[in-house]
Amino acid sequence: MSAETIGFIGVGRMGLPMASRLIAAGHRLVAYDVQGQALGAVAAQGAEKAQSPAEVASRAEIVLASLPMPDTVRAVALGENGVVEGTRARLFVDLSTTGPRMAKAVAAGLAERGITAIDAPVSGGIAGAAKGTLAVMVSGPPADCERLKPILQALGRFFYIGAEPGMGQMMKLINNLLSATATAATSEAVVLGVKAGLDPRIMIDVINAGSGRTTASEDKFPKSILPRSFDYGFALGLMSKDVSLCIGEAEALGVPMWIGNAVKQMWLYALAQGGPEQDFTALITHIETWAGVTVGGKRR
């Protein structure tokens, strides 16, 4: 597929590196963001600025969006000056995490104007977005998804999940529930070890060599927790939102989530203690407060 004009709405922490990869792949980008600084950053790389989602959707047939909250996606897609009011858009690709029910509602609203919604949430964080190694979980009509495949492969690995709206969202919520569970459980375990007198760095080395290793022990602890930088690049408020969305979907489907509900409460507690903007790796600091210990810091 030859390079073409693509609309991109939301060029913040995740959106900017994804937009940058599309520009590097040779696509002409028309971008919009409510933050002028973010829009200026992508314009400096060659993107054209738009004044609203509707303008983006009037200048590009394919519109991608990377937004923080489900209600924001709804407003951008269906609200005043939204994508639904554009004159050219035919495909709306949501890279955000909104949950299946929101994805279906957005798809239904856009369909009334002849626009097909594709949910394509991503996993892999800011580093994955910059490197083009994201997991992209795509659901929608097969022919449309196949058309989008070369574009989305510039962002990472393309996974076709299914034809129905929301299937990609469900896959993303399940993935993030497991990631949140690994982070919470590993944090509790390492705090326990430190309280008992163990060296946290040795603990992580042993865990990673044994059967207890998780994505948290292999990645989050060495990069952001043991150095106490807490700068992994994903907000705790967003992780809490994703877990809550997943539990809500499980409840709607009648699936018991004993462990999932406990994990949800842990993230809600950390959210209440430190606010939504703290890095999600800072979860461990709230467990440390309970235990009266500190994990990591400068290497001895």
Q: Which residues are catalytic?
A: 172
Taken as a whole, the chain contains a residue count of 300
Task: Write the DSSP assignment of 47-68 as a string of letters.
Answer: PEE-SSHHHHHHH-SEEEE--S
Phi, psi of 294 (to 5 degrees): -125, 135
Q: How far apart are CA 220 and CA 187, in angstroms?
A: 10
CA atoms within 13 A on the CB side of 54: 9
Q: Hey, what are 193's tokens?
A: 């070890």
Q: How far apart are CA 152 and CA 138, in angstroms?
A: 9
Partners of residue 64 on adjacent β-strands: 8, 93
Long-range contacts of 47-50 (CB under 8 A, 24+ apart): 47/8, 47/11, 47/19, 47/23, 50/7
